[in-house]
Amino acid sequence: MKKICALSLVLLFAVAVLGVAQEIKNPDTLIYMSYGTLNSMDPAYVYDTDSGGLIFQVYENLFSWPYGVVDGNEKTLTWSLADADLIPMLGTVVPTEANGLKVVLPDGRVQYTIPIRQNVKFHEGGTLTAEDVEYTFERGVLQDRRGGPQWMFFEAFSGITMWGVTDLATEVLGRDVDRAGVLELTADEQAQIYAVVDEWIEVSPDGGSVIFTLGAEYPPFIGMLAHGASWGAILDKEWVISVGGWDGQADTWAAWYNPGGGTAAEESELYDQANGTGPYVLTLWDPGVERVYEAFDGYWREAPAMTTVIHRQVQEWTDRFLNFENNDADIVTVDPQYVPQVAALPGVTIHKNLPSISMNPVMFFTTDMDMEGNDFVGSGEFAEDGIASDFFNDIHVRKAFNYCFDRQLFIDESYGDVGGYKTHGPIPQAFEWAYNPDPSILYDVDLEKAEAEFRLANDGALWETGFTFTIVYNEGNDSRRAMAEMLEFNIESLNPKFHIDLLGMPWTNQLDYLLTERMPLFIIGWIMDYPDPHNFAQPFLQSDGGGFASWQGAYMVSIYEDYFDDLVAAGMATTDQAERAQVYYELSRLSYEYATHIWLPQVNGYRVAIDYIQGWAFNPAYPDPYFYSIYKAYE
């Protein structure tokens, strides 16, 4: 017994000795810890930030957003989201009308010609050509997996008349074609459809450029090509074919359409393999556990300083924190509520007030609710113990709710150290040219006005009758719970007959109620697809934009149809920023007038940087840290 104890102690001591700290640990290896899981490595398939983060390191696009540097030494930010500032990457010149590479054709179509860089190698040994670029975008468009990002290109190429392959097939063949029908297309039919796509994306006669032809002016198009998170990433055509991808033929593409029905990501041939031109090669992917990257020794630019990057998925905050504290992790994901904890660590700087391109969260009203099996409407009657289906049809009710939310208090209490800003509609502050902080279109807390609106609601009957319903928020999300609590407190303080219950619910449960329009109020957010105001105006304010607006019930949808849809389209009809800014201001103003949402305060972007990490690139459009520019040194 004694021997066993002694041996155990010796063994413990031996293993503990291994933990001797160095000045800069792992000097050639960057260790990044975050949470979230990668869905796929197929650039045409992915539509989530985590997958985009991998593609961002391994692949490259035709252009890239320039970055500033936010690191331990707080270098000056020089990032930009303007097309004019885009950095040529695999495309050598950003097409503009001034340089003649963007041409508006007499019939209104728009052509972009992009010269392709020479002597760029893929990881597996191939050499980049214009054909690779053509193939990349044709493959993406024809794959068009359900729930994926290709709708953007359909919108752009078609002149905002199509959303996917089914729309294209229906138009070309003159009959209704659904997703199942695409799989049954004959070779001839496939060839007919491909002929249209082929016109959209072509290789120039000299073979050195790619020509994109859009159905009409589409302002975000170049930005879509630049967005470094999947759909713009350039593939090696020969390699994709060699691993079982589409052979590039006009009459075979349907076999690769919508792999796995859009939900079985593993059905795509590029699900678990990547071959880009980027500075890093993916050498290991252990799903849900870690990814390992090694520097690409054939990279066309200067080699990255970090020869190895290990990206670990660590769900537990305590683990991430302790690893960061002990410098066993160099960059970790820090949720807002943990910022004060890391700020106290030696050598750590919190960079605040960074722009972020998201509207997350926003509170939506549901009109004409489905009352069947609805657990959130109390008795379901216009009475003190419930609400009727059309509770939020009344604009006075919507305005009253808006006046009950104290935005500044929420920013101070919930966003704390990181800070936030009040929103004036769906346009994020990061779009400085389109965001208008006009206080006259902002509902700020005013309980007197709230009471006045409630007294007007239902021709005065609501104030006398009262109501009861439940606000649902994301379980585990402290911010959203706080928002719901604030509303509850302020509303119930106005009238003892007003009752609001709160319920935390997982996303998986919420989806059901959301889609069946049974949540009186729902809280949801939107992360950008590409950095353009249209990508925010559309999901929030277009009746059939495939976004959240369509879940707000028939009454609200009719408002969008009557007052918003044409404006949303107008925002895309010109590239003149001043004109577009006016459109987005008008959309925000109308949203205020009709009280379509409760536009909640948005948290500012922030960065937690430790002093020996240098060169950390920043651009709000980047999905993840850009490993290429990072190096370790005390400066």
Q: Which of residues 158-197 bind other proteins (CB under 8 A)?
A: 163-164, 179
| Residue of the chain from 32, 38, 214, 628 that contacts other proteins (CB under 8 A) | 38
Minimum gap (Å) between residue 272 Cβ and other proteins:
9
| Residue of the chain from 323, 477, 575, 582 that contacts other proteins (CB under 8 A) | 323
Q: Which stretches within 516-562 are classed as H helix?
A: 534-541, 553-559
User: Closer to other proteins at the Cβ: 79 or 522?
Assistant: 522
| Residue of the chain from 286, 412, 413, 464 that contacts other proteins (CB under 8 A) | 286
C-alpha to C-alpha distance for 432 and 254, rounded to whole angstroms: 43
| Residue of the chain from 78, 186, 326, 408 that contacts other proteins (CB under 8 A) | 326
Q: Are 602 and 429 in contact (CB under 8 A)?
A: yes
Minimum gap (Å) between residue 249 Cβ and other proteins:
26
| Residue of the chain from 228, 278, 355, 539 that contacts other proteins (CB under 8 A) | 539
Contacts with 562 (C-beta within 8 Å, 6 or more apart), sequence order: none
Q: Residue 56 corresponds to which tokens in the numbers above?
A: 């961002």
Which stretch, 140-148, 246-254, 408-416, 569-577, contacts other proteins (CB under 8 A)?
Answer: 140-148
User: Closer to other proteins at the Cβ: 57 or 150?
Assistant: 150
Q: Which residues ranging from 203 to 262 are in contact with other proteins (CB under 8 A)?
A: 261-262
| Residue of the chain from 2, 3, 4, 440 that contacts other proteins (CB under 8 A) | 4
| Residue of the chain from 10, 37, 298, 301 that contacts other proteins (CB under 8 A) | 37
Minimum gap (Å) between residue 447 Cβ and other proteins:
32
Minimum gap (Å) between residue 39 Cβ and other proteins:
7
Minimum gap (Å) between residue 141 Cβ and other proteins:
13
Is residue 432 involved in binding other proteins (CB under 8 A)?
Answer: no
User: Closer to other proteins at the Cβ: 454 or 560?
Assistant: 560
Amino acid in position 140: G
Minimum gap (Å) between residue 445 Cβ and other proteins:
27
Q: Which residues ranging from 264 to 283 are in contact with other proteins (CB under 8 A)?
A: 264-266, 283
C-alpha to C-alpha distance for 330 and 631, rounded to whole angstroms: 11
Is residue 529 involved in binding other proteins (CB under 8 A)?
Answer: yes
Amino acid in position 578: A
C-alpha to C-alpha distance for 318 and 542, rounded to whole angstroms: 42
- Rg of the chain over all Cα atoms, to the nearest angstrom: 27
Q: Which residues ranging from 296 to 315 are in contact with other proteins (CB under 8 A)?
A: 308, 310, 312, 314-315
Considering only CA atoms, which of 33, 211, 212, 149 is closest in space to residue 546? 149
Is residue 16 involved in binding other proteins (CB under 8 A)?
Answer: yes
Q: Are 30 and 57 in contact (CB under 8 A)?
A: no
Is residue 630 involved in binding other proteins (CB under 8 A)?
Answer: no
C-alpha to C-alpha distance for 517 and 184, rounded to whole angstroms: 34
Amino acid in position 273: Q
User: Closer to other proteins at the Cβ: 116 or 282?
Assistant: 282
Considering only CA atoms, which of 468, 471, 457 is closest in space to residue 502? 471
Peptide bond into 361 cis (omega under 30): yes
How many residues sit in the footprint of other proteins (CB under 8 A)? 71
User: Closer to other proteins at the Cβ: 210 or 362?
Assistant: 362
Amino acid in position 424: H
Q: Residue 348 corresponds to which tokens in the numbers above?
A: 């750590």
Crossing angle between the packed helical segments 130-143 and 187-200, to the nearest 10 degrees: 120
Is residue 512 involved in binding other proteins (CB under 8 A)?
Answer: yes
Angle at 33 between CA 32 and CA 36, to 5 degrees: 125
Q: Which residues ranging from 464 to 503 are in contact with other proteins (CB under 8 A)?
A: none
Is residue 153 involved in binding other proteins (CB under 8 A)?
Answer: no
Residues in the chain: 635
Pairing of strands 498-505, 467-474: parallel
Is residue 627 involved in binding other proteins (CB under 8 A)?
Answer: no
Cα dihedral 614, 619, 51, 272 sign: negative
| Residue of the chain from 100, 125, 244, 288 that contacts other proteins (CB under 8 A) | 288
C-alpha to C-alpha distance for 391 and 521, rounded to whole angstroms: 11
The DSSP element (H or E) to which 63 belongs, if any, is strand 63-64
Long-range CB contacts for residues 202-207, cutoff 8 Å, separation at least 24: 202/134, 203/130, 203/131, 203/134, 204/113, 204/130, 207/129, 207/130, 207/131
Compute CA 87 distance to the chain's CA centroid, rounded to the nearest angstrom: 22
In sequence order, the β-bridge partners of residue 468 are: 499
Contacts with 576 (C-beta within 8 Å, 6 or more apart), sequence order: none
Q: Residue 26 corresponds to which tokens in the numbers above?
A: 């792992």
Minimum gap (Å) between residue 205 Cβ and other proteins:
35
| Residue of the chain from 68, 181, 248, 525 that contacts other proteins (CB under 8 A) | 525
Which stretch, 402-410, 434-442, 546-554, 579-587, contacts other proteins (CB under 8 A)?
Answer: 546-554
Is residue 62 involved in binding other proteins (CB under 8 A)?
Answer: no
| Residue of the chain from 99, 127, 263, 408 that contacts other proteins (CB under 8 A) | 263
Is residue 344 involved in binding other proteins (CB under 8 A)?
Answer: no
User: Closer to other proteins at the Cβ: 505 or 617?
Assistant: 505
Is residue 461 involved in binding other proteins (CB under 8 A)?
Answer: no
Minimum gap (Å) between residue 96 Cβ and other proteins:
30
Is residue 9 involved in binding other proteins (CB under 8 A)?
Answer: no
Which stretch, 187-195, 519-527, 572-580, 584-592, contacts other proteins (CB under 8 A)?
Answer: 519-527
Is residue 347 involved in binding other proteins (CB under 8 A)?
Answer: no
User: Closer to other proteins at the Cβ: 11 or 87?
Assistant: 11
Write a three-state SS string for 80-122: CCCHHHCEECCECCCCCCCCCCEEECCCCCEEEEEEECCCCEC
Is residue 593 involved in binding other proteins (CB under 8 A)?
Answer: no
| Residue of the chain from 498, 548, 563, 616 that contacts other proteins (CB under 8 A) | 548
